[in-house]
Structure 1
Amino acid sequence: MMTVENTTQTKKLIDNLKAVCASYGLGNDGNEFKIITQVFLYKYLNDKFSYELKKVKPSLTKREKWQLALSEIDEGEYKLLQFDLESNTAFLYPHHVIEYLFDRQNEPEFGKLLDDTLLDIAAKNNDLFAVNTDGGAKIRLFDRVTEFISDPTKRDAFAKALLNKLVDFSFENVMTEGFDFFSTIFEYLVKDYNNDAGGKYAEYYTPHAVAKIMAAILVPEPVKNVTVYDPSAGSGTLLMNLAHAIGPDKCTVYSQDISQKSSTLLRLNLVLNNLVHSIENVIQGNTMTTPYHKEHGALRKFDYIVSNPPFKLDFSDDVEELQKKVNKGRFFAGIPNVPKKAKDKMAIYSLFLQHIAYSLTETGKAAVVVPTGFLTAQSGIDKKIRQYLVDHKMLAGAVSMPSNIFATTGTNVSIVFMDKNNDGKVVFIDASNLGKTVKEGKNQKTVLNTKEEDRIINTFINKTEVDNFSVVVEYDEITTKNYSFNAGQYFEVKIEYEDITLEDFTTLKNTFQSNLKELFAESEKLEKQIQENFKFLNYE
């Protein structure tokens, strides 16, 4: 089956599951994403188990309903099968498989049976798939999906409707597909649930163009056995692109995010992208007040860090905690002020920037999305951070992105790159004029094509200077420019001279003088007219 067909079939499954939810009154319900993502994940894990089991026990496939024949295998022998499967595969028992449930769908309390099955799978695979909180609790893989239906009399029918969407589709055809396929499917799966309508802790989906540029610049050459980290991971777009650039078997992913929903979606993303071994490092919690990942009693340092942190949030309740002495080294530039009349405008991104700079290994690299205003702020914490990056010779460069590259926010954004092993050359790129404006829902969005993405990537990696697009500077030159990271301030101003005759010069001069006389006359006329009109102004 071709990839296009696989994509079409998988998207159809997602649409069918959403249609079931809508028909039972759960369309756009706050719990819809839990049902859709968990049923989708159950189906994927079921088919992944079947796919791997066929490889170690091919004789099973000779049976017409071979999944049902699993119960005929000796219990001791069956348990040993899990040691032959790939370590990232959920181990299911005969009563867990979809075919078993399908044959019992007309029994009383089928909704409870489906829920019990999901919980049992979660319990038996908890060590592999549980997401941790910063308090040490484990968030299990599945919930009771039918209990989101408030009317108990409809739960059996709801469970049956969901299951019947799963049996005529198989993920086994896509197990060999790569990142491009699964990233597309994941984005389609969560597109209605991963947006900026999340209240205090809004979640912004990072465009793939931004994620691709960040990952490609950070990893221009092959690496292995490295750690990658995102302190504001969301659903993991940046992490997945970075892990793909490195290779899922060559890196270990670490993350933290305050949102439980984001952590749940990130777990699904890791499963789909063959990064199950990193799920134990997914932490749901507040990175600023309670950073979780530690090593030898201190905050862990990472080889690669990516982040699209929240730009503004109300962290006023956490300021006292943030100002404790234990944070002095981490927040070297200080804690941003809390605006008295708009607490939600606190520039929280500056805390993430400091945390990231502090969390890099001695040869670590990072790429962080920032509001473009950060590049040129003349004072305050933003300037102190820029000065720190330059003085510590860890600034690799910055890219100013086109406006509306994020459809969900009007804030212009840039990407700041750090490299603690930089060669002394810093690249500034002004990509603000690239891209094409398209309509996305009610918003305008700027989209980069592949050539434009590659132009940014190759220019940065090769440290190429292009007129009015890119410049390569030394750290000393940045210091003389008041630590500005804005490419435009470094572009050479070129004045082109053209030789003309005295006759041409006299003609141009006379023309300008004549035009100015006409403009001044028109200005005087308008001035008098305005003065006359003022005479007719009355209070009433």
Structure 2
Amino acid sequence: MTDITFITKTKQLIDSLKSVCANYGLGNDGNEFKIITQVFLYKFMNDKFAYEAKKLEDYKLGDAPNFQEALEALDEEQYNFLLAFIDANTPQLYPHQTITYLHNKQNSNDFAKLFDDTLREISINNAEIYSVKSASGAKDKMFDELSNFISDASQRDAFCKALISKLFEFSFEGMFNEKYDFFATIFEYLIKDYNTDSGGKYAEYYTPHAVARIMASIMVNDKPKGVKVYDPSAGSGTLLMNIAHAIGEDNCSIYSEDISQKSSNMLRLNLVLNNLSHSIPHIIKGNTILEPYYREEKFDYIVSNPPFKLDFSDFSVALDKDINKTRFFAGIPNIPKAKKESMAIYLLFIQHIMYSLSARGKGAIVVPTGFITAQSGIERKIREAMIERKLLRGVVSMPSNIFASTGTNVSVLFLDNRADAEHIVLVDASKLGATVKEGKNQRTILSPLEEQRIVDAMNKKVAEVDFSVLVSAEDIKAKNYSFSAGQYFEVRIDYVDITAQEFTFKMQGFEEQLNALFEEGNCLDIEIQKQLKTFTYNDK
């Protein structure tokens, strides 16, 4: 099965699940998102278990003409050994929990109950690997009782049978022996209907893949091992997936926090799809700014696309304990009396990230481009601290509309506790990219060559006219701590050699043009005076 075939079939599966939801009155319903993502997770777990079980040579399950029958034929002792030998990150299923088993039982009475009970059992049996934890320590359940989303109880059996029929149509197994980077494309397709203005706030968490790739390529230019990677506002995990691929899934552990239950569930699915199930216990659903679960942890790599605008007025007073002591050294943004959605909560995330870096830590943070030049307030204090601590490695100012969901211009800060303060790289990529239309929005798309140009400028410390510049910490201090590349570009004057005759001819031409403009101006003055004399007073 080729990449294109696999992508196409996966998209067809997602579309067919959406069709089932629509046929039972759940199209664009708030619960449709839960149904599709949870059923998709069940399908992936089922096929992953089958793939790993068939690899165990002692059981010959891969050679069996009917895998389900061979699985059911194992006695209890044999099955326990099978579960013990299977890879630790593989979901553990029993014969009566497979999709094939449920497909064969579709004529059973009360099928919806059988379906829900099966998913509940799988959730309990795999809680240690797949459950997301809240800040309080409580673990969530992987699957809801999906049949209960159908209000008409008489339709629940048919609804669950329709879901199982769609899941039974093809298998993921053929792709598990290869590593493919197109999971990101599948994931983007999966959530595209939930990443629009009408879909709530989920668009806040979505980072373009180009930005994520650039951040990962700049941060990871070696092959570290045993490192901790953290995102304090993880969303669906696009940034985490890209940096994990760059480091190597086996060489890193993923840690994340996010206040959204929806994004935590999507991140769990993304970790499963990307062979990072071992990091699921580190996913925390909680308020990073108010009660950071990983307050005392230090991380080797931190990536973040924090929310730029989010109301934190309900807990801003409680943050005072962190001022000038630990995290929020530069202060807490003021709470505006109006337009609370304009709160600069991202400034709190930047300070939290600086606080959370290990001694060898590296960070990459998406910020509004206005942050890099603001000359007062918390923004200025943070930039000063980055320079004084020799923490700034470089900045990339991205093209406008790189995010389809917002018109805010963004830049990416690159931090490194081992940064070279004499060779800080500032890149102005604002003129790159091609503009395309996505729905009602315009979006700028970077080509692979343009992405590589940005990465090379940062990693190779390349100075390029009107694109990138190398500056020192002292240079930045002299420019009032501006991180904008444009303020450091040299003003160039192009000189052209001409003869005395050519010079005289040019000057005569300029003089003639100027005289013509003066003459035209005089005519306009006379005409205006004539028009003024025609005005008369009328009291009616």
Whether these two folds match at TM > 0.5 is yes
What amino acid does structure 2 have at the position aligned with 1:411? T
- Once residues 215 and 23 of structure 2 are traced to their aligned partners in structure 1, the CA distance between those partners, rounded to angstroms, is 41
Tell me which residue corresponds to 2:293: 292
C-alpha separation in 1, matches of 2:517 and 2:400: 36
> Cα 1:5–1:376, aligned 2, differ >3 Å: closer, same or farther?
same
Residue 7 of structure 2 corresponds to residue 10 of structure 1: no
Q: CA separation in 1, counterparts of 2:373 and 2:469?
A: 16
Structure 1: distance between partners of 2:93 and 2:528:
85
Distance of aligned partners of 1:201 and 1:380 in 2 relative to their CA distance in 1, 3 Å threshold: farther
What is residue 388 of structure 1 aligned with on the other side? 385
Matches within 5 A, 1:364-379: 364-379=361-376
Are 2:224 and 1:223 aligned? yes
Report how many aligned residue pairs link the two structures: 536
1:493 is matched with 491
In structure 2, the CA distance between the partners of 1:377 and 1:539, relative to structure 1 (3 Å rule), is: farther
In 2, Cα distance between equivalents of 1:6 and 1:16: 15
Indicate if the aligned counterparts of 1:20 and 1:162 stay in contact, CA closer than 8 A: yes
**Residue in 2 that maps onto 1:306:** 303
Find the counterpart in structure 2 of residue 479 from structure 1. Answer: 477
Partners of 1:122 and 1:152 in 2: CA distance: 24
Are the counterparts in 2 of residues 308 and 369 from structure 1 also a CA contact under 8 Å? yes
Answer whether contact 1:195 1:205 (CA < 8 A) is retained.
Answer: no
CA distance, structure 2, for counterparts of residue 39 and residue 398 of structure 1: 41
User: In the TM superposition, what is the alpha-carbon distance from 1:280 to its structure 2 partner?
Assistant: 0.5
- The answer to whether structure 1 residue 512 and structure 2 residue 510 are counterparts is yes
For 1:140, the equivalent position in structure 2 comes to 141
Partner of 2:159: 158
Q: For residue 423 of structure 1, what is the amino acid of its counterpart? A: D
Distance in 1 (CA, whole Å) between partners of 2:276 and 2:69 is: 29
| Counterpart selection for 1:460 from 458, 461, 471 | 458
Task: Go from structure 1 to structure 2 and tell me whether the alpha carbon gap of 1:326 and 1:129 turns closer, same or farther (over 3 Å shift).
Answer: farther
TM-score, length-scaled by structure 2: 0.95
Deviations 1:203-229 (A, max 9, x none): 241111100000000001111110000
Alpha-carbon distance change, 202 to 211 in structure 1, aligned in 2, over 3 angstroms: closer
Partner of 2:366, secondary structure, is strand
- Given the alignment, which residue of 329, 333, 345 partners 1:332? 329
Residue of 400, 403, 418 corresponding to 1:403: 400
- Report if aligned partners of 2:183, 2:274 keep a CA contact under 8 Å in 1: yes
Query: Deviation at 1:84?
Result: 0.5
Partners of 2:323 and 2:330 within 8 A in 1: no
What is the aligned partner in structure 2 of residue 35 from structure 1? 35
CA contact (8 A) 1:196 1:203 kept: no
Partners of 1:507 and 1:250 in 2: CA distance: 71
Q: 1:195 Cα shift? A: 4.4
CA distance in 2, matches of 1:81, 1:536: 104
Task: Report 1:59-458 matches (<5 A).
Answer: 59-195=60-196, 197=198, 199=200, 203-294=204-295, 299-325=296-322, 328-424=325-421, 425-458=423-456
Q: What code does the residue aligned with 1:460 have?
A: M
Identity of aligned residues (%): 58
Which deviates the most, 356-365 or 528-537? 528-537
- Cα distance change, pair 229–501 in 1 and its aligned pair in 2 (3 A): same
* Aligned-pair CA distance for 1:476: 0.4
Q: 1:274 is aligned with what amino acid?
A: N
The one-letter code matched in structure 2 to 1:311 is: F
Q: 1:122 to 1:524 in 2, by over 3 A?
A: farther
- CA distance, structure 1, for counterparts of residue 227 and residue 345 of structure 2: 28
Residue segments in structure 2 that go unaligned for 5+ positions in a row: none
Decide whether aligned partners of structure 1 residues 523 and 325 sit closer, same or farther in structure 2, where only a CA change above 3 A counts. same
8 A contact 1:398–1:429 mirrored in 2:
yes
AA aligned to 2:111 is F
Write the letter of the residue equivalent to 2:250.
Answer: D
The CA deviation at 1:201 is: 7.0
Contact 1:68 1:99 in 2 (8 A): no
Q: How many angstroms does 1:526 deviate by?
A: 5.5
The answer to whether the Cα contact below 8 Å between 1:465 and 1:472 also exists between their aligned partners in 2 is yes
Q: Distance in 2 between matches of 1:36 and 1:521?
A: 75
Q: What are the superposed Cα offsets for residues 408-458 of structure 1, whole Å, 9 maximum, x if unpaired? A: 000001111001101221000011111000011111000001000011101
Counterpart amino acid of 1:207?
P
The alpha carbon displacement at 1:5 in A equals 1.3
Aligned partners of 1:305 and 1:366 also within 8 Å: yes
The two structures have a TM-score, normalised by structure 1, of 0.95
Contact 1:308–1:368 (CA under 8 A) maintained in structure 2: yes
Contact 1:229 1:305 in 2 (8 A): yes
Q: Is contact 2:404–2:441 with CA below 8 Å preserved after alignment? A: yes
Partner Cα distance (1:538, 1:84) in 2: 103
Q: Using a 3 Å threshold, how does the CA distance of structure 1 residues 404 and 537 change in structure 2: closer, same or farther?
A: farther
Single out whichever of 529-538 and 282-291 deviates more from structure 2.
529-538
Deviation string, structure 1 residues 114-169 (Cα, Å, up to 9, x no partner): 11110110011111111011122111111111211111111111111111111120
* Structure 1 vs Structure 2 CA RMSD: 2.1
Residue identity in the other structure for 1:334:
G
Distance 2:11 2:76 in 1: 37
Structure 1 position 249, deviation (Å): 0.3
Residue 279 of structure 2 aligns to a residue in which SS?
helix
